Each structure stands twice: as C-alpha cells, then as structure tokens.
Chains A and B, each alone.
Chain A
Amino acid sequence: MEQLFNIDFKRMNFSNDKEVADRKKNFELFLKGGLPNKKNENWKFSDLNSIISKNFKSITNNDEYEFEEKIELIHDFDHNKVILVNGSLRSYDLHFEEKGKVKIETLKSLEGFHHQSKNNLDYLNKALSIGGFNLEVQQNYKCKKPIMIYNYFTANLNNKIINNSNKIKVSQNSELTLIEYNIGKKSKFIKNTFEQINIYKGAVFKNIILQKAKCNGYFYKNISCRQDYNSSYQNFILSSGLKFNKIEIDIILEKEKSSCHILSGLNLSKEEHQEIKTQINHMAPNCKSYQKIKNVLEGDSKGVYQGKIFVKDIAQKTDAYQLSKALILNDQAEFNAKPELEIYADDVKCSHGSSSGSIDDEAIHYLMTRGIELRAAKKLLIKGFLNEIFDNIPEQKIRTFLEKSIEVQIDEIR
C-alpha cells in the first residue's frame, strides 16, 4: 500500500500544525488497513484493492493546476451554475435565486462531519481532502431553478487521486434540485468523495447524478443523509461511463412521515464496473422508502446492487420497497445483487424483488413482426427499460434532457 501511494503532504496548504498532524495520523490509519477488499462484506462484489492495484502503479495527490478551458454549458433548461474543477469550488452563478437565500462556499473544515457508514476510505478522505463545497438553502425558500454542478476534471490527472467532501443543508420547508454533472477527460484518476446531507422538516431535496460521456475515472462516493419530519429525498443515479464507480448511500429516516426514493438506471459497457449500495434505516413510524435499480450490462461489465432496509421496532407502518433488475446482454457480463431486509417491527409492508436475465425474445419477435429491425427493436426495449425511472421527474425539460443523454449511451450498443 505504501508503495502504491506516493503522497506529499507538503503540496497541500494547511492552516496549522495540528491539522498536519491529524491528517498524517489519518493517513497512517488508512495505510494500516489499506484499500477495502472482498474480504470485507460491503466490498464482497467489488474488490477495490485489486481493481486499483491492477490499474495503477503509483498514485499521487493532485498538483496545482492551470485551468483555462471553457466548460461546455448545457442550454436545454434554465439553471444556476456551480463549477467545480478537480473537486474544488471554482466559481458559481446563482442569479435565478433571491439574494442570500442560497449560499455556497468552499468547505473549510471537516469538523462535525459524521459518516454513518465507515470504511478505510474515510481515513483516506480525512487525510487528503481538499475541501469541496458547502451548500445551504435558507428556511421556507423554494429554489426557482435547479442548481447544476459542473464537476469538471482536467486532462492532466493521470495517476492522481482527488479527495473532497461536500456538505448540503436543506432547511425547514425549503426545496432544492441539485444536478451533479460529471465531465471527465481521458486521464486515469481516482476520486474519493464524502458527502453529508441534512434535510430538515418539510424540506424536499432532489439530487441527480449524471455522467457526460465516457471517462477513465475510478470513483467512490459516500453519501450520509439524515431526514427530519415530513422531509423528502430523491436521488437519481445515471452515472454510466466510468471505469469504476461505487456509490454508497446511508439514509436515516429520523422522524415520522419522511420519505426517500433512490432510482438508478445504468448502462454499462466493456470494462466497466459499477456498484450501488444503499442502506435505509427506518427509525420512526410512518416513513416510506423506495429503491429501484436498473442495469443494462454489455461486454464484460459488472453491475452490483447491495441494498439493505433496516426497520427499528418502533417504526410501525413502514412502507419499504426495493427492486433491482438487470438486463444481461453478453455472456461475459455479470450482475450481482444482495437485497437485504432486517426488520424488527411487525406492522410493516416491506418487500423486495430482484431479477436478472436477457431481453425477452418474444418482445423482440413482436417488434420484428411489425417491421422493426433487430437492432432497433433491442434499443427500443432497452430504452423502455431504463426510462421507467424518470417517471418521478415532473420537470419536462430536465426529463427530456436526461432521456436524451441516456439515448446517446444506448446508441452505442451494438
């Protein structure tokens, strides 16, 4: 592990000596445990240690970089813009919103940052984090337009690792739609992100994670989210195109009537490996949770879904549902699932379903008898399979934009 990581702490800017000591301590802790491997139950299907060792000979932290390129903006719908370059906040434009209602700044300190699910990458992140953003929406303010985060990665990131941490606070009765738009170049790098989300009473938070075009990135993202009374959290994951991606979401439904939805549609091709792991903790009565994970697997890709629903004994009237479906298009592709239920309350409705298989031959036959050629028929069915997850997005323009970006991916399927 020590050979793989060539980290130079001198390159980083520190505020004081204590911070340096803390970071070094965390780094030592990380080196002791190393990268998670398949012996760890949470990483059973995605052995990060072997994936990274296979693809990287030496890893360094990020240098100072020059950034003068112009970012291609999206014009499909009106949105506020936040630009992150290599994980740190560069600039933002929130002109659609009232002044002072939405605040964004560079995250300065990791104090008060609690990760609900711990692993060794947490130490690594604490040791090397370069900050990230701190976003806050004020009470009773409903954002007029979505905020789009252009998460840009420069071309000179070969063999680098980016560690950042973000904090999102959605205050009482406020509303926010946040779109994370990842744009990567050809370079091969690692990103390790920890995110903490607090959704207060009556607030609504929608989060869309989208990947623009293919990228040689190896991403890990850990989201810890707490939800208050009657709050709502919706997460749409459309991160196809990365070499490796694992998104770990841990949600605590702390108070009654809160609800969370996690929906994902992934289309993985050659040499891609993605895992979504969700843990929904129902700690109060009358909460709802819903997960729908859809994978289309081509080439020698590997899709993984690990989902757990935990229902505490007092969390009566819980309504929890989990569904994972996979379309396997190639014999080299693989789909693994572990949909777990741990239930201690009796008056609940909890169920999960999981299926994997190939495209229904009869459906193809039906389309072909109507004059649609094989390839088009396949695409049509795949599109239908993935588009189902957009049902929860009411904004027509965003929906069209997402559908369009999925279509581009499907077109690449042979």
Chain B
Amino acid sequence: MKSEELKNQEYKYGFTTEIENFKAPKGLSEKTIRFISEVKKEPKWMLDWRLKAFNRLKVLKEPNWQKPKYPKINYQDLYYYSAPKSMKEKPKSLDEVDPKLIETYNKLGIPLNEQKRLSGVAVDAVFDSVSVATTFKGELDKKGIIFCPISEAIQKHPDLVKKYLGSVIPLSDHYFATLNSAVFTDGSFVYIPPNTRCPMELSTYFRINASETGQFERTLIIADKGSYVSYLEGCTAPMRDENQLHAANVELVALDDAEIKYSTVQNWYPGDKDGIGGIYNFVTKRGACRGRNSKISWTQVETGSAITWKYPSCILQGDNSVGEFYSIAITNNHQKADTGTKMIHLGKNTKSKIISKGISAGQADNTYRGLVDIGAKAKNSRNYTQCDSLLMGNKCGAHTVPYIRNKNSSSTIEHEATTSKINEDQLFYCNQRGLNQEEAVSLIVNGFCKEVLQQLPMEFAVEAQKLVSISLEGSVG
C-alpha cells in the first residue's frame, strides 16, 4: 500500500557531515562561558554580560506549565560550543571555506556560492556554533546595511549591539532565554539604516551537525526609522536517536515607520515514527515596535522538531504600530508543538492580527497558546485572532489556550477558533477527479493553510508547500 511506503519515508535532511569538530569542554560552567567568549575574541563587556546571565540562571527554575512534557535535560552533559575545525581561523572568503561545508549546504539546497546567484537571497549560514559564510556582502555594504554574524558585530559594531542586545528579551527573562544569553554562540545581526529598503531577502540557515550539542543562536535585527527588511530563517539537523536542544533568542526592534517581516520554515529533525530522537526547539522570539507606525510581522511554518515550544511576540509600544502573526504548525507521529504568540498593546491605535493553523496527525499533540493584552492606555486598539485546528485520527490532540485581556472601552478584541477534521465531501470530490487519497489530503491541507502560506516570500512559499505535504505523508489511508 502506498501510504505504508510513505510512512517509512525518512527525513530528507537527516544526513551527517563527517567533519572534524572543535568543541568546548562538556558541561555548563563559568569555564565554558569564558571559553566561548575567548574563542570568539569577545570584548570584556560581552563576557561580563554573559556571566551576569549565568549568575541569574543559577536562581531560575525551568518552566513546567507547558503542555508537552519532556525528560529532564542534563545541562552538564551537553557541549555548548562546537565548530568545524577548519573554521577556527575564520575564512576570509568563500574560497577558503571547507568544501565539505559547502557541499553540506548544497545538499540542503542553500546557495552559498555567490556566483550561482540562484535566488538573489543573501544568506548567513550557521553550522553548529559558528557562522560559516555570509553572501552578497558587497552589495549590502553599499547601502549601509549591516548583515553579519553576531560575533562579528560584537567586535565591529559594539555600540549598536550594546544598545539593543537584551533590550527586548532581558537577561533575566526566563530559563531558556537566560541560558541563551549566557552561552549563545552565533547567529545573525542585521541593521538597516534610516530610510533604506533592503533590496533583497536576508536569510539565515541553521544546521545542527555535531552530536550531544546544543545550538544557542542569537539573532538581533534593528530596523531604523523608515526602513524595511524581510528576513528568512531555515533550519535542519541530522537524524540522531538522542534529543538535542535548540534554545535560540531572536530580538527585533522596529523604530519609527520601520517594518520587519520575519519568516521561519522550521524543519529540525522531528524524531522517528516511534518518537525517538529529535530536536527540542525551545525558542524565544520577541519583537518590539518601538516607533510610531512601525510594523512587525511573524510568519512561521513549523513542521519539524520533537517538541516545538515558542511564542513569537510583539510588543506594540509605538502609537499606530502593527503586529502580525501567521503560523502553521504541523505535528505528526509523536511530535508535540506548543506555540502561539503574545500581542501586548501599549501604544494608541495599535493593531494586531493572529492567524494560526494547527494540524495534528498520528499521536501528536498540537497546542495554540496565545495572549492578547490591551492595556488601559492603548486607546482605539484592535485585535483579530483566528485559530483553526485540523485533526487526523483520534490518537492525536488539538488544543487552544488563548488568554484575552481588554482593559479599555475603546478597543476591540475578536477571537475565533474551530476544530474539525478533513471534510469527507471534499475528499470524495478530489478522489472522484482522479487524485489519490494522499494527494487529496495534501491539496486540502494546503488550502487550509493558504492564508498563512501566502504571507511567505516567494523563495520560501514553494518549499513550505512541499513541506506541508511531506510532513503529513503516511497520516491517512
């Protein structure tokens, strides 16, 4: 039977790159943090900042309110820094990058080679703990746009980093965010100067390769007055039967009239069909609409990870600012997702929109958890939330946990949620026209997700659509 065959189809990006690694000593300690800071040749203020976070971490407890439960993580049994040996001395240009790494990214379909100019996307590729290469640098430099690994930004643009790092996600936020602040290794830094429209999509591709390694990346995007940037993020990891931790922090700052569009296609290894292995994706993403008329838009397609646990949020501080959240979360087999958003309205005339689509199949659990909080001073604010869930089979679960708070009389909040299964009439109609069961389901699900998919930039939309179909293979029949 076809669906049986499909059931056994493996994770496409599950290969491992045999490459010599240079690792920090195992375990979480002040020594590890000093080691990371030293390898990165960081200034003293950065080390102090990390140590401050580490001290704070000692008194924090891991949160336990979330729906997906996981076995206790032994933080002393992890490597906090792992880099390909060839990266110890940073290559000056792409020609110097280890061909094995280039090959890895080619396998993943990420064009690191600038000459190919396949998609006109500037890419920053992060392999375990270091950034491998950033493409299209020259063109971006001309416009004054800074797009580089955050470790480079710490050295070259300390004023900007000092000013904004930790300003949206403070050091003491919560356990995983603080852990990240203490041990973050690499990630992207983006600064768009005033009145500049970034001419191309900026993209980061994250890959966890080494085993027993946690990836702690940190991304900071600043859109200065009147600027615009669209940023894409993709992730994969090899298949392993251990659980690997990914605890990233992403901070966005939009000043007056600026707009940031942040899209994620998350396809970490989800574990096998019995739920063994896979990535724990515990990510903190938060954007601050600091300026008037600023806008932050999150789009995410979550198909991978054993456990996804993240809430990309918007703090709408500036008057007339706008926050958007579009999400598709697909869980199959034993995957668990607890995801959603927070929209915190502080400024006047702020608007937010949340569209969330959750799809569960197999024995998976999918939770939407969100907060809409309109403060007393956020006059004339508006929120619209729609979260729909689709269930396939009666072994999976779909849950909705929205928190809605309205503290003034001129603001309006609307919330809608539905849970249903694939309509049999629709399936029948598709079958009748010659589509088999799998194709029909894929078509209907893609239709169900359309509102979110159309928010993705072109380069990602095609990939995401395919991903939606692949993730559900073997779930019907």
Contacts and interface: CB of A to CB of B under 8 A. Distances in A.
Q: Is the interface of B mostly helix, strand, loop or mixed?
A: strand
B400 A352 contact: yes
A343 B389 contact: yes
A57 B4 CA distance: 69
Contacts of A341: 389, 398-400, 417, 419
Interface string B24-58: 00000000000000000000000000000000000
A349 interface: yes
A356 B406 contact: yes
A351 B419 contact: yes
Interface in A355-388: 355-358
A355 B412 contact: yes
A357 B402 contact: no
A356 B402 CA distance: 14
Contact of A353 (B393, B408, B412, B415): B415
B406 A346 contact: no
B416 A353 contact: yes
A354 B415 contact: yes
Interface in A236-287: none
A348 B410 CA distance: 36
A344 interface: yes
B401 A357 contact: no
Given A316-B394, A342-B399, A333 B421 contact: no
B70 interface: no
A336 B398 contact: no
B404 A336 contact: yes
B394 A338 contact: no
A11 B216 CA distance: 63
Interface stretch (A2-10, A19-27, A322-330): A322-330
A41 interface: yes
Interface string B418-444: 111100000000000000000000000
A351 to B, nearest CB: 4
Which bucket holds chain A's interface residue count?
35 or more
A329 B393 CA distance: 45
B407 interface: yes
Contacts of A342: 397, 399
Given A338-B401, A353-B416, A358 B421 contact: no
A334 B405 CA distance: 7
Contacts of B421: 346-348
B397 A343 contact: yes
Contacts of A316: 394
A171 B419 CA distance: 34
Contacts of A354: 402, 404, 413-415
B396 interface: yes
A34 interface: no
Contacts of A331: 376, 407-410
B346 to A, nearest CB: 15
Nearest to B405: A336
Contact of A348 (B396, B415, B420): B420
Given A329-B409, A353-B417, A340 B400 contact: yes
Contacts of B394: 313-314, 316, 344-347
A337 interface: yes
Interface in A279-308: none
A350 interface: yes
Given A344-B396, A346-B391, A326 B406 contact: yes
A389 B368 CA distance: 29
A356 B413 contact: yes
Contacts of A357: 406, 411-413
Given A350-B419, A353-B417, A328 B397 contact: no
15 contacts: A331-B407, A331-B410, A337-B403, A338-B402, A339-B402, A340-B399, A341-B389, A341-B400, A344-B397, A346-B396, A347-B394, A351-B418, A352-B417, A353-B414, A357-B413
